[in-house]
Amino acid sequence: MNSMQRRLNKKMDILLERENSGPLKKKNLNRALRRALQNKLALVGLGIFLSIIILCFFAPLFTKYDPLKINIRASLQSPSAAHIFGTDTIGRDIFSRILYGGRLSILIGFGSAIGASFLGVVLGAWAGYRGGWFDFLMLRTSELFLFFPQIILCLLLVTMVGQSVGNLLGIFIFTGWCGIFRMTRARMLSLREEEYVQALKVLGVPEPIICYKHVLPNALGPVFVNITLSTAIFILQEAALSFMGLGVPLEIATWGNILNVANNLNILKVNWWIWLPVGTMISLFVLSINFIGDGLRDSTDPSQQG
Amino acid sequence: MKRTTGLLIILIATCALVFGAGAKEQVTQTVQIEEEVTQMGPLNSNPLSDVRVRQAIAYAIDMDAIIEGLLPGAVAADSLTPNNEWKVAGLEAYSYNPGKAKQLLKDAGWDSAKVLDLVYYYGDQQTVDLMATVQAYLADVGIKVVPRKLEGDLNSQLWVAPKDPVNGTSAVAWDLAYAGLAVVSQYEYYNRFLSGAATNSHTPGNAELDALLDAVNKTNKVAEQKEYFGKIQQFENKYLPIIPLYYQQLFVVESDRLTRNGAGYGNEQYAYDWKIQTWDIKPNADGRKVMKANGGPLQFFEAPFVAPAIFTSQKVLFDRLIVADGGLQNFRGQLAKEYSVSADGLTISFTMKDNIYWHDGSPITAQDVKFTWELAAKVSSVNVLFSGLFKTIVGYADFNTKKTNELSGITVKDNTVTFKFASIFPNALVALSQLPPLPQKYLGTADPLQIQQSPYWQNPIGSGPYMVKEVRMNNYCVLVPFGKYHEGRGIIDEIQLYPSGESDPNLVKNALAGQLDYGWTKSLTDANALKSVAGLKVMPYDMNYTRLIYVNKFAK
Amino acid sequence: MLTYTIRRLLIIIPMLILASFLVFLGLELMPGDAVSFMADPETLANMDPAKLDAVREQLGLNAPFLVRYLRWLSGVLKGDFGYSLTSGVPIKQIVFQTLPATIELSLAALLFSTVLGTILGIVSALRRGRMTDNVLTVAGLLGMSVPQFFIGLVSLFVFAINLGWLPIGGRLRPGYESFIDRFPHLVLPAVVLGLALTAGVMRYARSSMLDVANKDFIKTARSKGLSEWRVNFIHGFRVAMTPVAILLGLRLPTLIGGSVVIEQVFQWPGIGNEFLSAIRGQNYPLVMMIAFFMVLATMVSSFLIDLVTALLDPRVRLS
């Protein structure tokens, strides 16, 4: 790309900003943010969310126990000053397991959500922008994916590729991109008809540059809402797969795997401290994400306001 | 799940067996092994081929603590052989001794950077916890282990023997494999270590062990068998080709309402003389005696060729020629009035009772017996107990290659059926007490290669004390007494079976809800959960079932 | 309408063929061939290789890939879905045995979530911004946030084991004759499965109710002097239901997926339970065929929902 084009790019961007969204857009954004902050639920959600993130990612500050350190002679101890959530069947400190396990669960949730969104956005932007056979093909593929119940597809793939954190992440990304793909594509379809796009084309700016640099940023709004909501879904899905024994290998601590012991009715009955804290933790975390997502959606999508 | 439990069932034996009534006191005695052993270095480039490393592993794991904390009720193992009368005294227990383990590793020049691959195939939480525990104990003495659950085709990952059975190189990837071994006899425990044994993926051939195994395989005198097996145990104890962990029991669960009226208990995985027709249960409010149990059909009644009596339905719908006691050793006639074994052990003949009928009322004949074994010889997958039997029957080779249409070694004359063997099959009576005769008139035209697909198994016409009254596959099945049963009509009016596979994930739920009068489980977790339930008895039964870690000693 | 139907059909049929191809491809990619799963590993090691080959030949495993696919597809079209590996039972039989239970459960969950979700959504809309609305919103989000199996296990423990109000699981018991007999078995699984859907329906019902409340015809109705109750429920409800119906169509995959988990918790003898045990037993033909059936079910029902929506709303037909 020569410097002339680059200059043009810049110019067009400025033009676009002024013309298309104008000064109004900025105000809009601010208003959206203000609204989100005004939404008490979203604030509460953000609070819980950040607390859990801090607890998990700075786990060594909050617990002195190694989550893997077993002490078979101190198994199934009920909560005490030493072990605030007690110990599990082989004497590991449950609080520390929840914190360290949370790291992985949150990573899986976020990683998958970001990965799936990235894939969906990249494909969706190009499909929506270019149209043609690529669009047709991708659209049909995404429809096909949507016809598969996601958990079924995950289970199928787990049996094919085996259980591991990496595989699970891959599977979640592979099965989770369709929603965001369709969303991005729909936005791009309308955006590509804008005049500035035509202008850029006439000026000979390479298509990928137009698509990803000039048009896509205008379609990204809903993506962020989607990332938060898919994180919640993926965390729940990880838990469900673990419950069926087909998630992350059982020896690796994740929230789902820790909660998996609730399968044992005896533990469900007697050792409430093994499943209740982690069950609450998952629910709280997902709930906080849903609060935030809800707030974001309310503030970005006027049709949903009540 | 089916395949992992399948792995256990398959390890069923081919020889006479004896179960000990109780655990014997073990005299712990320091055996003079250490000096000899410490002089032994590794056999090959694999450090696990050094006996000191294996001993270190055994010393490093605190099995007593693990049992106390994680596996309450299990019994620590010092050998594959459980604590019964086959066990030789004076085995080293390798009690927890991390200091000694570290010393042994130091002597062996253990490279603490090496990471061992520990594989397992059970999917339950307890196994995962155990693996984490073993990992932690080994880490304490400086052995790095990473547990890995096997998926997919287990056979090709676990039991492929190397081409060269002495010098390797290993045909499997793992270093350590946690597994269970359920057998009918001692032979099945140890024949797998023969050099070149089909499933020996772990132990390089050893002339001393081969000689001992060869000797024991050639004798049918119990005293000699015991002597040789004792020596084999000592060899095992000294060289630790495997690390024995614990002996597992089977647990029978019964509600207080049920009484067996004196009939004994046994290894519930097999058919034994439990006389269910004499069991009694407290009547319901409406006066009917209904027993609820698990082991009902999911999609079909399981054919008895692979697992002859794991399911309650298999046990009560069919009678066998002869029936064994709970320990599967003493036999009496069931469908057979009497049986006789010739002095050389090569001929066994059975005279059938006169008053025996299929559930449709037609008589059971000696020809049905012959038909059943000929069918078994053609079925694509059968229990090794049965294949061991029909392969030693006279005329099997011709029958198998389709030169003849019948197994000439089984002859029928009036109500007598005679089995002639080409060589001694020590477990013949056990096999004959497990495979029930099947009706030729219903299965005669079925495809042996896909026998389970026969419509017969949707509602089998059996020979046992109870017959199918109603079946809703996947929901329930109702059995009622068979009026013409040759040992008297059953006392319990109705047996309701809810469907379950070989291991029943819903046993505890149903028991807690009062929906279980009889069931059994091999799961310690479930057994411990059931012990606290009011109105239930949980009775352990000792069976030949050892959990262990195989050590792959072949060069990689 | 006819053109629309044909257009939808033209989209759905190639998708079906593609799905079937993917299912077959998946089957092919599974480790081991069908024969190696007919017996357990150690038995297999003891089996005669010649016998194994005979079985392979009989099962047609030695033919080229495309031939096997076409053979398989024509079998499927003729209603021959193959056999379960672990048992040899025809898959058709398994599907027919288990499908009614799953349909029963799904319909019950749908009904429960639609009724509850719509009522709560409308209540929420009418009480917009007040306490009730806020509580319902939070409750709805909470319903979506707690893992389904966790609710299932705890409710099983509380209502079936501790309180003994409802049966522990299963569907049919000896002596059951009518739906009334087995209804208690349906309650827990249907409610738990329905809970997750309720939140979505509620949100949708609420916003479309709010939407409708400002529409002219409602204003007209009010001005005609109809009572507030009638205005809200008769007019608003009818219009608000259309998007809810669409939402139900979208939720179908979630419903089917959820049934896999719920059926396991409650021993419900449905297709989801069967799917899971097939996966655990690595019974690949069964796994793949059930997955295919689930996709088929979602495709067919989404097709039907499309048609219904088009009938209800002429604008859809033209788009």
Domains of chain A: 2-64+83-304 (1.10.3720.10)
Residue C48 to residue C54: CA distance in whole angstroms: 10
The rounded distance, in Å, linking the Cα atoms of A187 and A125 is 8
Closest residue in chain B to residue A267, using alpha carbons only = B529
Phi, psi of C120 (to 5 degrees): -65, -40
Helix (H) or strand (E) holding A215: none
Tell me the average pLDDT across A142-160: 83
CA of A83, closest CA in chain C: separation in Å? Answer: 24
CB atoms within 10 A of CB B71: 24
CA dihedral B37, B42, B43, B46 (to 10 degrees): 140
Task: Choose among C129, C157, C291: nearest Cβ to A268.
Answer: C157
A305 touches chain B (CB under 8 A): no
- Name the residue facing C128 among A232, A275, A306 (closest C-beta): A306
Q: Which residues contact C67 (CB under 8 A, 6 or more apart)?
A: none
Note whether C282 contacts B152, CB cutoff 8 Å.
yes
| Residue appearing with tokens 């070694």 | B409
Mutate to test the interface with B, among C36, C42, C171 (most CBs of B within 10 A): C42
CA distance A261 to B529: 13
CA-based nearest residue in chain B for residue C54: B449
Contacting residues of C for B380, CB less than 8 Å apart: 38-39, 47, 51, 55
Residues C24 and C70: their CA atoms lie apart, in Å, by 10
Q: Rounded distance, CA B273 to CA B322, Å?
A: 9
State how far the Cα of B48 lies from the Cα of A61, in Å rounded to an integer.
40
Of A76, A71, A101, residue with least CA distance to A87: A76
Residue B182, token pair as written in the block? 């359920």
Instruction: Supply A87's token pair.
Output: 């110990």
Rounded Cα distance, C125 and B319, in Å: 68
Say yes or no for a CB contact (<8 Å) between B65 and A162.
no
Contact between chains at A163 and B151 (C-beta distance less than 8 A): yes
What are phi and psi for residue A64, nearest 5 degrees? -95, -5
Average confidence score pLDDT of chain C = 77
Put simply, whether B459 touches C (Cβ < 8 Å) is no
| Structure confidence by residue, pLDDT tens digits, C56-107 | 666 666 677 788 788 878 878 887 777 776 666 778 888 888 888 888 898 8
Nearest to C295 among A148, A160, A291 (CB): A148
What number is the average pLDDT over the span A72-94? 86
Whole-angstrom Cα distance, residue B369 to residue A151?
A: 49
Q: Token pair for residue A93?
A: 């400190």
Contact C264 A150 (CB under 8 A): no
Calpha distance B138→B136 (Å, rounded)? 5
Q: What is the pLDDT of residues A189-239, one digit of tens each?
A: 888 888 888 888 888 888 888 888 888 887 777 777 788 888 888 999 999
Length of chain C: 319
Segments making up each domain of chain C, as ranges: 1-86+281-319, 93-270
Q: How confident is the model at residue C247 (pLDDT cuts 50, 70, 90)?
A: low
β-strand partners of A64:
none
Per-residue pLDDT, averaged over B501-523, amounts to 84
Residues in A 250-269 with any Cβ partner in B closer than 8 A:
250-251, 260-261, 263-266
pLDDT at A50 over 60: yes
The model's confidence at residue A107, banded by pLDDT at 50, 70 and 90, is very high
Residues A59-88: what's their mean pLDDT?
85
List the one residue out of A170, A138, A300, A152 whose CA is nearest residue A240. Answer: A152
B62 contacts on A by Cβ (under 8 Å)? 72
Contact C142 A283 (CB under 8 A): yes
| DSSP-H helix ranges across B108-183 | 125-140, 154-158
**Residue B88: which pLDDT band, with cuts at 50, 70 and 90?**
very high
Q: Which residue of A has its CA nearest to B533?
A: A266
**Per-residue pLDDT at B98:** 94
Q: Degrees (nearest 5) of the Cα angle C296, C300, C303?
A: 140
C73 exposure class (CB count in 10 Å sphere: 0-12, 13-18, 19+): middle
Contact list in B for residue C39 (CB cut-off 8 A) is 306, 380-381
pLDDT for the residue numbered C56: 64
Out of B50-59, B188-197, B478-487, least confident range: B188-197
Q: How far apart are CA B459 and CA B452, in angstroms?
A: 12
Measured CA angle at A126 (ends A122, A132), to 5 deg: 145
Are B377 and B396 in contact by the 8 Å Cβ rule? The answer is yes
Same fold, B2-248+545-551 and B250-521: no
Residue contact A306–C210, C-beta within 8 A = yes
Q: Which residues have a Cβ under 8 Å from the Cβ of C77 and sit 6 or more positions away?
A: none
B133, A70: Cβ pair inside 8 Å?
yes
CA-CA distance, A217 to A21, in Å (whole number)? 12
- Is the Cβ of B128 closer than 8 Å to some Cβ of chain A? yes
Region C274-282: what's the mean pLDDT? 81
| Mutual angle of helices A3-16 and A195-202, in 10-degree steps | 170
Say yes or no to pLDDT of C18 above 80. Answer: yes
The C-alpha of C161 sits at a distance from chain B's nearest C-alpha, in angstroms, of 6
How many Cβ atoms from other residues are within 10 Å of residue C26's Cβ? 18
Q: State pLDDT tens for residues B380-431.
A: 778 878 988 999 999 999 998 888 899 999 999 989 999 999 988 878 898 9
pLDDT score recorded for residue B59: 95
Q: Does the pLDDT at position B35 exceed 50?
A: no
Q: CB distance from A266 to chain C under 8 Å?
A: no
Confidence tier at C243 by pLDDT (50, 70, 90) = low
CA A206 to chain centre: 32
pLDDT of B31 over the 60 cut: no
Q: Are B54 and B43 in contact (CB under 8 A)?
A: no
| pLDDT for B13 | 36
pLDDT category of residue B2 using cuts at 50, 70 and 90 = very low
Comparing CB atoms, the residue among A143, A149, A245 nearest residue C254 is A149
pLDDT range class, residue C129, cuts 50, 70, 90: confident
Q: Indicate yes or no: CB of A290 within 8 angstroms of CB of C145.
A: yes
Computed over every residue of chain B, the mean pLDDT equals 86
CB contact under 8 A, C147 and A291: no
Rounded distance between C-alpha atoms, residue C263 and residue C85, angstroms: 22
pLDDT band at B442 (very low <50, low <70, confident <90, very high): very high
Give the CATH number of domain B2-248+545-551; options: 3.10.105.10, 2.60.120.10, 3.40.30.160, 3.20.20.70.
3.10.105.10
Q: What are phi and psi of B231, to 5 degrees?
A: -65, -40
Q: Which of C187, C171, C235, C169 shows the shortest CA–CA distance to C208?
A: C235
* Residue corresponding to tokens 């084309």: A201
Q: Using 50, 70 and 90 to split pLDDT, how confident is the model at B288?
A: very high
Measured in angstroms, the CA of A247 and the nearest CA of chain C are apart by 12
Strand partners, C313: none
What values do phi and psi take at A69, rounded to 5? -70, 115
Instruction: In whole angstroms, give the CA distance from residue A142 to residue C144.
Output: 24
CA–CA dist A213, B107 (Å, integer): 65
Q: What is the pLDDT of residue B3?
A: 43
Partner residue opposite A251 with nearest CB, options B62, B128, B152 = B128
Distance between CA atoms of residues B223 and B497, nearest Å: 44
Query: In 10 A of CB B402, how many CB atoms?
Result: 8
- A232 and A222 in contact (C-beta within 8 Å)? no
Helices C179-213 and C91-126: crossing angle in degrees, nearest 10, is 40
Using the beta-carbon criterion (under 8 Å), do A90 and B70 form an inter-chain contact?
yes
pLDDT tens for each residue of A77-87: 888 888 888 88
Q: Which residue has the tokens 């298509």?
A: A207
* Residue B129 in tokens: 């916890």
Is residue B52 within 8 Å of B108, Cβ to Cβ? yes
Rounded average pLDDT over C256-282 = 84
CA separation for the pair A290, A45 (Å, rounded): 8
For helices A94-130 and A40-57, angle between their N-to-C axes, nearest 10 degrees: 120
Query: Are the CB atoms for B280 and B262 separated by under 8 Å?
Result: no
What pLDDT is stored for residue A306 in this prediction? 37
Contact B154 C47 (CB under 8 A): no
The Cα C117–Cα C126 span in angstroms is 14
Q: Of B524, B485, B529, give the one whose Cα is nearest residue B511.
A: B529
Q: Where are the alpha helices (DSSP H) in chain A?
A: 3-16, 22-38, 40-57, 59-62, 94-130, 132-147, 150-161, 165-176, 178-191, 195-202, 207-209, 221-243, 255-259, 265-270, 272-300
Range in B15-24, B92-101, B139-148 with the lowest mean pLDDT = B15-24
Instruction: Report chain C residues whose CB lies below 8 A from the CB of B473.
Output: 97
| CA triple B458-B460-B464, angle to 5 deg | 145
Percentage of chain B with pLDDT > 90?
51
Among B202, B226, B331, smallest CA distance to B271 is for B331
pLDDT(A33) > 80: no
Cβ within 8 Å, pair C42-B384: yes
For residue range B350-381, what is the model confidence (pLDDT) as tens digits? 999 999 999 999 999 999 999 999 999 988 77
Nearest CA in chain B to C166: B513
Tell me if residue B145 falls in helix, strand or coil: strand
B158: confidence class by pLDDT, cuts 50, 70, 90: confident
In three-state secondary structure terms, B455 is helix
pLDDT digits (tens, 9 = 90+) for B460-499: 999 999 999 999 888 899 999 999 999 999 999 999 998 8
Q: Are B81 and B229 in contact (CB under 8 A)?
A: yes
Which C residues 3-32 touch A at CB under 8 Å? 11, 14-15, 18-19, 22, 26, 29-30
Query: For domain C93-270, which architecture applies?
Result: Orthogonal Bundle (1.10)
Nearest beta carbon to residue B1 from set C51, C97, C280: C280
> Contact C299/A269, CB-based, under 8 Å?
no
Contacts of B137 (CB under 8 A, 6+ apart): B60, B61, B62
Provide the shortest C-alpha distance from residue C153 to chain A (in Å): 8
> Alpha-carbon distance B393 to A280, whole Å?
64
Cβ contact (<8 Å) for C161 and B1? no
Tokens 């193959």 correspond to C82
For domain B250-521, say whether CATH 3.30.565.10 is its number.
no
All structural domains of chain B with their residue ranges: 2-248+545-551, 250-521
Sequence-ordered list of residues with C-beta below 8 angstroms from that of C40, at least 6 positions apart, any chain: B3, B6, B7, B9, B10, B155, B306, B381
Residues 158-197 of A with CB under 8 A from B: 159, 162-163
Kindly state the average pLDDT of the residues A53-73: 86
> ipTM above 0.90?
no
Neighboring chain A residues of C30 at a CB cutoff of 8 Å:
159-160
Look up residue B83 and give its DSSP letter.
S
The token duo for C295 is: 């996709």
Strand order across the B336-341 sheet: B336-341, B347-352, B416-420, B410-413
Helix (H, G, I), strand (E, B) or coil at B443: helix
Give the pair of three-digit tokens for residue C246.
């669409």
Give chain A positions within 8 Å (CB) of B533: none
Nearest Cα residue in chain C from B457: C89
The reply to whether B501 touches chain C by the CB within 8 Å rule is yes
Predicted confidence (pLDDT) per residue in B43-53, tens digit: 888 999 999 99
C172 interfacial to chain B (CB closer than 8 Å) = yes
- pLDDT of B354 reads 92
- Which member of C29, C133, C275 has the closest CB to residue A160? C29
Split at pLDDT 50, 70, 90, the class of B39 is very low
Q: What is the separation of C-alpha C240 from the centre of its chain, rounded to a whole number of angstroms? A: 24
**Does the CB of C84 have a partner CB in chain A at under 8 Å?**
no
Tell me the chain A residues in contact with residue B132 when contact means C-beta distances shorter than 8 Å.
68, 70, 90, 251
pLDDT tens digits for B264-276? 898 888 999 999 9
Exposure string over C144-167, b if 16+ CB within 10 A, otherwise e: bbbbbbbbbbbbbbebbbeeeebb
Q: Which has more pLDDT, B429 or A25?
A: B429
B contact residues 197-216, partner C, Cβ 8 Å cutoff: 198-199
Task: Report B:20-79 residues touching A (Cβ under 8 A).
Answer: 62, 65-66, 68-70
